[in-house]
Structure 1
Amino acid sequence: MSQQHLQQLRQLMAYEASRNAPPADFPRLPPLPSARYTDAAFHALEQDILFRKTWLLAAHLDEIPEPGCFQRWDIAGAPVVLVHADNGDIHALINRCSHRGAPVAMDERGKRKRLTCPYHGWSYSHEGELLAVRESRDFAALDTEALSLQRLRCERLGKLIFVNFDPQAVNLRESLGALVEEWAEFDLDNCRLSRRDRFSVRCNWKIAMEANLEVYHVPSIHGKTVSPVLDARRNVNSFYPGGHSRMVAPIPEGHAQPAWTSRWPDIPTAGDIARTCTQSYSVFPNLVMPLNQFVIPPIQFWPDGIDQCIVETWTMAPDWGADTDRGPDMWTEDDGARPSRVLREDIDMSEAIQAALDPRSNRGIPLSYQEARIYHWHQSADAVVGAAQIPEGLRVQPVLEDAWLHPNEPRLRGPG
């Protein structure tokens, strides 16, 4: 992070602590339609468009470290197999044989010289090309080039592997924009994967995710866990193009990073904000990326029906000099048996909110200035889906204009 950016963040923290109202020119946020969490048609739009036109974090290179290694990835609503090719590239292929649709990879993960359908023996290269057809004499004029496995967009940032179902999408780095430069200090090329776990949660996926998009709730829900090490009054929210956002809140004086982190090597290139603040990015549409000098613990939120979701937690860290099972664990207890206390606090409240939802209600959800990252997410979702495809009563008004998107910073022009 540049010294100019660092100085600006410190100025913004001071501004947030001193203000008595939202910035004078900050837009009024219209109530968020509550049916966006309960409407079946809107849920279908999310599945069919939102998760098909955006970059999704799929895997870590440690999971498929060598040529020939593969891993299934089905959580995004389509059967996908990720394959490490001989030339070092990672490919994302639809896990469906071009003959009669059987999965070419039945195991969750493994290592093979080629992908061979277990049903009729058709085999494919790591790039998805059809290599051999058993009893080819029985097929007349078979166009093998047209029968390759469908290949998806697949790109890496460090060891993180992302997939996009849209062949026309901008590349990953362009999509992430300024985040690429801001994350450079965290050495994503060398951080190892320590754990990856999944937990089923009884609520709409956005309810669970949005607990990570604001700190307004921290004194209430996390009074003994997060609140003591996060100065919510000095929290700075930033909005990025493409639906991404960030929060940065200083650790109060007299407090340090949680004691458990001192057990692990730190990331030597991590900067001052990583060492003195709590910071977390929201990467559109479903990835939350907290960052500090000890661990990189992404957390993802996947729809599993309108009123249920899967929370997927990761922990990555610098090489701790031991096997994977003994590395850091940010999000679970008892070796993955249950979520950590902080995560349980959010999950319990999210499930309670879901249980109290009234799908017949047309009352909107009022959002504060401190909850504007939530509004920014919904406004960006409508831009991806297309407002014309969304029922009028479920649309979000695009009131957060470009003037409020990074690198613009209206708050420093004068007092709010």
Structure 2
Amino acid sequence: MAHFPKPAAGSWTQSYPELGTAPVDYADSYDPQHYADEQEAIFKRTWLNVGRIERLPKAGSYFTRELPSVCKGTSIILVKGKDGVVRAFHNICRHRGNKLVWNDFPNEETEGTCRQFTCKYHAWRYSLEGDLTFIQQEGEFFDVDKSQYGLVPVRCEVWEGFIFVNFDDNAGPLNEYLGPLGKGIEGYPFGEMTEVYSYKSEIGSNWKLFLDAFTEFYHAPILHGGQYTKEEAAKIQATGFEALHYQFETPHSVISSWGGQSPPADLDMVKPMDRTLRSGLFGPWDKPDIEGLDALPPGVNPARAPKWGVDSFVFFPNFMILLWEPGWYLTYQYWPIAADKHIFESNLYFVPPKNARERLAQELAAVTFKEYALQDANTLEATQTMIGTKVVDNFLLCDQEVMLRHLHKTARDYVSEYKKTHKTKEHANGATC
């Protein structure tokens, strides 16, 4: 469903009556039982992005991902086989359950290249395709059939160079899951943007609270006012900010906004350093000369706004792709580790720089983004602490916060549907991965 421009009567929110307009209950962001339900209903049963194919450039390339959001201790290996296929496996040796791939610290992620995987404990070996190929002193075992003891696979599919996994063998295919929003941005030149800047941090809040912060601009004139000149900050605060377009293809969504044109129409609103390096929060001003940016996929800038700047696609549950008008993109991921804690990851992707000035322009964009993200994150622990007191249990949301309504409703609906169809006592008896 798409609505653009904003309806002359009513509002974005009222265009989606299933979302309602009443205050929203935020118990889903502090209740430990609800968090446990989300692990079972959402993170074990939806497609999760775990990286890009550029991290697996040749046969034998691999990296590991720690995924406590799925279940405590969950670790997987992503590897490119000799046949060029990207596969995923649980990072568990079939002999005594030791973690198979790790370096100095078993709880830390690692990457590299190998011909086979060898367990550090008893030297059992596995091929890149997950087959058990060698057992130390095999004769000491009883009627062992190596073909029955390969690595445990995890469903793995690749879309536009993004690697996804799903722990539910009964889930539909990835393309079907991503739906119209995914289809609409196929063909964007993701593969040309291989210069990467990465940030990762543990945040003391529920994972949905940080998603909330990045799916509305109502806060921007106030919280980020310091990033503008004093005069421009006052102007923005007086006039406010409103996005160009909202669209829901449940469970996913997109918000499209102005800003980010290169160069900015009003150079007085940016700082001297931005003008010198021709860069800033919205990325380098000079669009790279690559195929795919002149004729963008149909899902980009869905409102066809002449002053379009950025689209933020939310692929439920925890993956965001932001496509910027100047020709770069970034991703956000939110990995819950408790009801009130999550790991935030962000990656900024640029076309590799051709000279020192282009490199500095990208670095300025990266550090400016980090400052903005810290400003957003700085509010989250205070929010988490206060909602956890339960003094107030329902919170007003304005029309610009319609995506927050959609996110929390979607997450609650997943949990409710799971409870209806899985009438077991998993949590009482101890859920398994």
- Give TM-score scaled by structure 2 length: 0.77
Q: For residues 234 and 255 of structure 1, do their structure 2 counterparts lie closer, same or farther at Cα, with a shift above 3 Å needed?
A: farther
Does structure 1 conserve the Cα–Cα contact (< 8 Å) formed by 2:243 and 2:255?
no
Distance 1:116 1:388 in 2: 38
Does structure 1 conserve the Cα–Cα contact (< 8 Å) formed by 2:155 and 2:169?
yes
- The offset of 1:30, in angstroms, is 3.6
Q: For residues 101 and 171 of structure 1, do their structure 2 counterparts lie closer, same or farther at Cα, with a shift above 3 Å needed?
A: same
Distance 1:276 1:362 in 2: 38
Which residue in the other structure is 1:191 paired with?
A: 193
- The offset of 1:153, in angstroms, is 1.0
Q: Which of 250, 258, 265 is the equivalent residue of 1:254?
A: 265
Q: For residues 282 and 121 of structure 1, do their structure 2 counterparts lie closer, same or farther at Cα, with a shift above 3 Å needed?
A: same
For structure 2, which runs of at least 5 residues remain unmatched after alignment?
Answer: 104-109, 421-433
Specify the code of the residue in structure 1 equivalent to 2:242: R
Q: How does 1:28-177 map to 2 (within 5 A)?
A: 28-77=20-69, 78-107=74-103, 108-177=110-179
**Aligned length in residues:** 375
SS, match of residue 128 in structure 1: coil
Does structure 1 conserve the Cα–Cα contact (< 8 Å) formed by 2:157 and 2:174?
yes
Which residue in the other structure is 2:241 paired with?
A: 232
Does structure 1 conserve the Cα–Cα contact (< 8 Å) formed by 2:221 and 2:240?
no
SS, match of residue 198 in structure 1: strand
SS, match of residue 296 in structure 1: strand
- The offset of 1:304, in angstroms, is 2.5
Specify the code of the residue in structure 2 equivalent to 1:265: P
Specify the code of the residue in structure 2 equivalent to 1:190: E
Which residue in the other structure is 1:351 paired with?
A: 381
SS, match of residue 49 in structure 1: helix
Distance 1:322 1:138 in 2: 61
Which residue in the other structure is 1:286 paired with?
A: 318
Superimposed CA distance per residue, residues 271-304 of structure 1 (whole angstroms, 9 cap, x where no aligned partner): 3839732221111001121102421100111112
Q: For residues 167 and 231 of structure 1, do their structure 2 counterparts lie closer, same or farther at Cα, with a shift above 3 Å needed?
A: farther
Distance 1:380 1:34 in 2: 13
Does structure 2 conserve the Cα–Cα contact (< 8 Å) formed by 1:232 and 1:249?
no
Identity level (%): 24
Q: Which of 215, 218, 222 is the equivalent residue of 1:216?
A: 218
Superimposed CA distance per residue, residues 31-89 of structure 1 (whole angstroms, 9 cap, x where no aligned partner): 32221111110111122331111111111122221111111100344111111111111
Q: For residues 327 and 136 of structure 1, do their structure 2 counterparts lie closer, same or farther at Cα, with a shift above 3 Å needed?
A: farther
Specify the code of the residue in structure 1 equivalent to 2:252: H
Distance 1:330 1:133 in 2: 52
Which residue in the other structure is 1:397 paired with?
A: none
- The offset of 1:238, in angstroms, is 0.7
Distance 1:218 1:38 in 2: 25
Which residue in the other structure is 1:333 paired with?
A: 367
Does structure 1 conserve the Cα–Cα contact (< 8 Å) formed by 2:123 and 2:136?
yes
- The offset of 1:249, in angstroms, is 1.8
Does structure 2 conserve the Cα–Cα contact (< 8 Å) formed by 1:301 and 1:309?
yes
- The offset of 1:178, in angstroms, is 1.3
Which residue in the other structure is 2:309 paired with?
A: 277
Which residue in the other structure is 1:313 paired with?
A: 346
Specify the code of the residue in structure 2 equivalent to 1:63: R
Q: For residues 331 and 114 of structure 1, do their structure 2 counterparts lie closer, same or farther at Cα, with a shift above 3 Å needed?
A: farther
For structure 1, which runs of at least 5 residues remain unmatched after alignment?
Answer: 391-416
Q: For residues 142 and 328 of structure 1, do their structure 2 counterparts lie closer, same or farther at Cα, with a shift above 3 Å needed?
A: farther
CA RMSD in angstroms, aligned pairs only: 3.2
- The offset of 1:316, in angstroms, is 1.6
Q: For residues 188 and 118 of structure 1, do their structure 2 counterparts lie closer, same or farther at Cα, with a shift above 3 Å needed?
A: same
Specify the code of the residue in structure 2 equivalent to 1:376: H
Distance 1:133 1:23 in 2: 61
